[in-house]
Amino acid sequence: MNAYGVLLQDLWLDIKLMHNKSTERANYPTQKPEALIERIVKASSNAGDLVLDCFCGSGTTAAVAEKLGRKWITCDLGRFAVHTARKRLLGIPDVRPFVVQNLGKYERQQWQAGQFAGGGAETPEQADRRQRAYTDFILRTYHAEPSTGYAWLHGRKAERFVHVGGVDGPVTTGDVTKLVLEFKRAVGTGKNAPTTNGIDVLGWDFAFELNEITKQAVEASQVQLRFKRIPRDVMDKRAVESGEVQFFEMAALNVKASAKGLIATVELTDFVIPPDDVPESVRGGIAHWSQWVDFWAVDWDHHGDTFHNMAQEYRTKKSPKLELKANHTYAAAGEYRVVVKVIDILGNDTTKSVTVTVKAK
């Protein structure tokens, strides 16, 4: 029954569309009015119940469930959708703690098995063929040519070698060390020998600070490394067929950490996105490096497992200025590993880890 005492029909005409200046508008194409979702949630659940939304979009269902005292789980394949929903939830007064989990590895594994495996139990030879088919597919999508005779240097593009990371885990410093050693051994030998000193390293994920650590490690060998993310779009047949899949280069993040007593402070001091990845129209509107950052979060006590969002700063329509410092008071003295995660305006994430030592007064 609605506010006028009339039984609701199967066609709801009393809920209006959001206007352009609505405070709940998140500029997401499929966003629904909260009033509509509120009616559905109230009619189908009680306070404390669990609400599941498998296609979260802008996060309307999760936001409404949170406001109505329901527990919720929401998911989406789109990076922009997850980012939009997260910012929206953080804007709710007294929002309860929640965790953003990335289950992409399992999705990638299933995609690889379905796309390149023959089905059934695999022999070692079949597993090798599947891995090669996957690697060749990524190379084609990157517009590179496969190379032979190497274990770690899988292809060539514009006189640069290309390495393709697997779906099961991040590219590690050990991986980079091995491919650089293979590259150095190959210099000047055979028809496929390197004619430049460049390697493009493609990966779904990268170990923390890989960009900076490996650049320092290989500086003496003068090998030029570029780290680029394999985008989820490669699993979208339509995106691949369009030929417009983009591999974004990793950004560089600088963080300053300090401590006074039990209080630690982290501050973003610089953030650089490779200019070739950014449309000229966007680059022209950036006056300060902080404008590249849309959202950043801190895990104040990271143990090498899942990133725990313990503090965050982000832009909103009402508060477009981004705070670049965050503080945390520890319960006990000691040395802590702090991980900072930045989401840039292109939707890519970059992490940086620092160590802080806090002391009791």
Q: What is the CATH number of the domain that holds 286?
A: 2.60.40.10
Nearest Cα to 38, choosing from 75, 68, 74, 8? 68
Residue 184, in any domain of the structure: yes
User: Dihedral sign, CA of 293, 299, 304, 305?
Assistant: negative
Say which residue, 232 or 346, is predicted with more confidence.
Answer: 232
257 plus 222 within the same structural domain: no
Which is more confident, 262 or 108?
262
User: Has residue 42 got a pLDDT over 70?
Assistant: yes
Task: Report pLDDT digits (tens) over 111-157.
Answer: 888 888 766 667 888 888 889 999 999 999 999 999 988 999 999 99
Inside any domain, residue 264: yes
Give a yes or no: residue 21 inside a domain. yes
Q: Quick one: which of 54, 46, 38, 53 has its CA closest to 70?
A: 46
CATH of residue 62's domain is 3.40.50.150
Total domains in the chain come to 3
As a whole number, mean pLDDT of residues 226-239 equals 86
Contact 309, 326 (CB under 8 A): no
Output the pLDDT for position 119: 61
Average pLDDT, the chain: 84
Residue 150 · residue 189 · CB < 8 Å:
no
Q: Residues 43, 91: one domain?
A: yes
Domain contains 329 = yes
Residues 93 and 3 in one domain: yes
Q: What is the pLDDT of residue 216?
A: 60
Per-residue model confidence (pLDDT) at position 340: 92
Domain housing 48:
1-98
Is residue 299 helix, strand or coil? Answer: strand
Tell whether 108 is covered by a domain. Answer: no
Q: Is residue 201 part of a domain?
A: yes
pLDDT tens for each residue of 179-221? 888 888 876 655 655 566 689 999 988 876 665 666 565 655 6
In a domain, 115, yes or no: no
Same domain, 146 and 217: yes
Same domain (yes/no): 223, 297: no
In terms of domains, do 257 and 231 share one?
Answer: no
Sign for the CA dihedral angle at 22, 23, 24, 27 comes to positive
Domain C-terminal end among 242, 269, 292: 242
The answer to whether residues 319 and 208 belong to one domain is no
Residue 111 lies in a domain: no
